[in-house]
Amino acid sequence: MSLPGVDRSLVEQAGLRLSAHVRHTPLIHDPPTGIWLKCENEQLTGSFKLRGALNRCLQLTPAELGRGLVAASAGNHGQGVAFAARLLGARATIVVPSDAIECKVEGIRSLGADVRTVPGGYAAAELEGERLASESGGVWISPYNDPEVIAGQGTVGLEIERQWGDAQLGGQAEVYVPVGGGGLAAGIGAALDTFRPSVRVIGVLPENSPYLHSYFHAGSMAGVVESPTLADGLSGPVEEGSITLSLVNRFVDDMVLVSESEIRAAMKWASSRKIISEPSAAVAIAACLRQSSGARLAVVSGGNVDPRLWQEVTLDGGA
């Protein structure tokens, strides 16, 4: 069964397309807690976002590439698009919000993209990026509202399947996935759909930006109040009419929220295991740490963390 053109077969096609271009990241086990960690923080750009951006861009025609690429990003998607543009010989313009983490912005610049900063948060950057793409004729690369981007993100699920194996997938297991726009959770859910209901995909959001949590449980994002969150990559509203809205209802089994203090504690826990986890990735770890038993896996979606925040959080007493 498929919705808006996304199913396991599309994810498998993306896997073949990306195989030679992305890193197949490790899956590691933490014996004291029993938690498994899928380490997308070790991806080439430090984040899973490369998979979706590159899968979309690899299918563009020479004429489309010649028009240039445009994206909006809090950082990680922008790096993915910039990487794809450099690989394919295209120009890229990335619109970032004024509150974007500087190390992520520098990562975009280092890959050769033109960075434009706009006042406000991610929603303002997305509006400006879409306007710029329309005005310039550039190809808009959405971070989540695109079947091929979602399929690329879903290749994380294919790797989990191969690495976890029948021993885990044959029994009851839970896969915790960070959620902002919902593309990663929808893609992984599509990849692992054949293993449901024994394998449950659970989306995790910060309490301070619960947009898709509200949609999943109440059918609407109206009235959601957003507060500042450490998980910058998960903040901001979801584009109206995004295909991820129906996809998460089909491929995701539950949505849960974690607090800012839990995010900090999860980052510190990761540090004690020598894993660098940005706050947006730590939400999945935080949800896993609530559970004391059972087969459970956290997708560590990225490791592009502000060095000052990392030092603050991981020092003794920082959690």
Does 9 qualify as catalytic in the annotation? Answer: no
Strands (E), the chain: 27-30, 35-39, 69-72, 92-97, 114-118, 139-140, 173-178, 199-206, 254-258, 295-300
Q: What dihedral angle (degrees, nearest 10) is formed by the CA atoms of 311, 28, 263, 127?
A: 100
Degrees (nearest 5) of the Cα angle 121, 299, 17? 90
Residue 60 to residues 19, 55, 63, 66, 278, Cα–Cα distance (Å):
18, 9, 8, 10, 31
Residue 28 to residues 39, 160, 163, Cα–Cα distance (Å):
8, 11, 9
Does 301 qualify as catalytic in the annotation? Answer: yes
Return d(Cα 275, Cα 140) in angstroms, integer: 33
**Active-site pick, 38, 47, 49, 142:** 49
- 243: DSSP letter: T
**Active-site pick, 47, 235, 242, 301:** 301
Return d(Cα 88, Cα 2) in angstroms, integer: 30
3-state secondary structure 32-84: CCCEEEEEHHHCCCCECHHHHHHHHHCCCCHHHHHHCEEEECCCHHHHHHHHH
Q: What residues act catalytically?
A: 49, 301
